[in-house]
């Protein structure tokens, strides 16, 4: 199993400039190769990522000499990993047609394992030297690569390590739990525990609106207009706020998924139609604030690392509408109804708790 440890970097001005150049080189190589692949695709030809890298190597020294100012991994791995995965996902119908990358949007570049070294709280990068890290690498195992990325004005390195054994083996199959995700509360467990959502977006809503209004009034907000220093200052404040909101969501999701996988060997959840929920303009902001997709992604890989299992019920499974005592199903149950009484056995149910118990029972039966 490959685990990644994401660590904040503390580069000086020279090192931060190098990182920005490397991100730009990776972005240019990705877009260059994507354009070549699109032309070949339209002509009915099949071009591999190896052939695209070979073509770029043949012309980069003459046409793009500035690429040599950064590590050779930046352009090569942008094609080998980034573009290759995008094309593969497109053919597997997991994603749409690959798009060109934009400056300032998810800036990053990758390094192969022989192109960097770790020593305590520092990482050595080609043509740059040692850069300070916030902490040392936590995992033991073979290092297979690293990716350096920027969020707002902070830089991070994600080191990928091949771990020989699961991180934990204390989870047991007979310890089962159902988890019902929602908007009012992030999660309701089958034992009655309710975890409220952080709702970072709602907490920062006023400040977010104010900064967006302020940015729209700055010189540079209009297309084609030169960006002023005040525009860039406000933009930096806005990026930091977005990063803070993302960190709050990520922190809660990591803590909750870690708690679940450490205490339960069998976890039942529902396959939510997040895209359909986002199409409802009244729910879209609240749904996005809860990070349902990220919750499931973390839960699945952490359960696998802890020798546990995650059982996913179909999105049409009547977790909320079915009485967990007698199994009677209610045909119509509006979202506004938070409690209901079973017409067969007379039991009174809390909507979310009943759903989580049904998901736990479904997981036990499926296992």
For the CA atoms of the chain, what is the radius of gyration?
A: 24
Residue 191 designated active-site = no
DSSP 241-298: HHHHHHHHHHHHHHHHHHHHHHH-SEEEEE---HHHHHTSTTTHHHHHHHTHHHHHHH
Instruction: For residue 95, give every residue at least 6 positions away whose Cβ sits within 8 Å of its Cβ, in sequence order, or none.
Output: 86, 89
Q: Is 13 a catalytic residue?
A: no
Q: Where on the phi/psi map is residue 104: left (φ > 0), alpha (ψ -120 to 50), or beta?
A: left
Rounded distance between C-alpha atoms, residue 78 and residue 32, angstroms: 10
Q: Which tokens in the block code for residue 244?
A: 């803070």
3-class secondary structure for 161-187? EECCCCCCCCCCCCCEEEEEECCCCCE
Tokens found for residue 92: 């597997």
Is 39 within 8 Å of 24 (Cβ atoms)? Answer: no
DSSP string, 18-58: HHHHHHHHHHHHHHHHHHHHHHHHHTT----HHHHHHHHHH
> What is the C-alpha separation between 239 and 78, in angstroms, rounded?
24
Catalytic residue among 49, 107, 300, 352: 352
Separation of alpha carbons 48 and 145, rounded Å: 22
Q: Which of 49, 107, 270, 300 is catalytic?
A: 270
Tell me if residue 140 is catalytic: no
Burial bucket for residue 24 (CB in 10 Å: 0-12, 13-18, 19+): middle
HSE toward the beta carbon, residue 260, CA cutoff 13 A: 35
Closest by CA position to 110, among listed 251, 240, 1, 4: 4
Sheet strands side by side (includes 266-270) = 194-195, 187-189, 176-181, 266-270, 309-313
From 49, 107, 180, 300, active-site residue: 180
Catalytic residues: 180, 270, 352
């Amino acid at each position: 199993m490959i685990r990644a440890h994401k660590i904040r970097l503390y580069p000086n001005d020279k090192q931060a400039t190098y990182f920005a150049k490397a991100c730009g080189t990776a972005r240019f190589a990705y877009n260059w190769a994507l354009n070549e692949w699109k032309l070949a695709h339209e002509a009915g030809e099949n071009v591999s990522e190896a052939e695209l890298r070979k073509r770029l190597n043949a012309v980069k020294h003459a046409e793009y000499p500035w690429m040599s100012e950064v590590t050779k991994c930046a352009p090569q791995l942008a094609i080998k990993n980034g573009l290759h995965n995008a094309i593969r996902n497109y053919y597997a119908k997991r994603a749409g047609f690959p798009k060109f990358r934009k400056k300032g949007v998810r800036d990053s570049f990758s390094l192969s394992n022989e192109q960097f070294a770790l020593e305590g709280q520092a990482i050595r990068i080609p043509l740059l030297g040692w850069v300070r890290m916030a902490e040392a690498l936590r995992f033991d195992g073979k290092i297979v690569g690293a990716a350096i990325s920027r969020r707002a004005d902070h830089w991070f390195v994600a080191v990928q390590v091949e771990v020989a054994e699961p991180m934990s083996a204390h989870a047991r199959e007979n310890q089962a739990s159902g988890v019902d995700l929602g908007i009012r509360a992030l999660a309701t467990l089958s034992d009655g525990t309710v975890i409220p959502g952080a709702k970072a977006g709602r907490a920062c809503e006023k400040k977010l609106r104010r900064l967006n209004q302020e940015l729209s009034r700055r010189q540079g907000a209009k297309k084609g207009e030169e960006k002023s220093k005040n525009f860039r200052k406000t933009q930096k404040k806005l990026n930091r706020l977005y990063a803070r909101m993302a960190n709050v969501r990520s922190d809660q999701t990591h803590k909750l998924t870690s708690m679940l996988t450490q205490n339960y060997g069998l976890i039942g959840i529902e396959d939510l139609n997040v895209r359909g929920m986002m199409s409802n303009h009244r729910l879209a902001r609240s749904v996005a604030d809860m990070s349902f997709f990220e919750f499931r992604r973390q839960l699945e890989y952490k359960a696998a690392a802890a020798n546990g299992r995650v059982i996913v019920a179909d999105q049409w499974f009547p977790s909320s509408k079915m009485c967990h005592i007698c199994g009677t199903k209610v045909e119509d149950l509006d979202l506004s109804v938070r409690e209901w009484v079973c017409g067969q056995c007379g039991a009174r149910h809390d909507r979310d708790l009943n759903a989580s118990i049904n998901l736990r029972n479904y997981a036990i039966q499926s296992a």
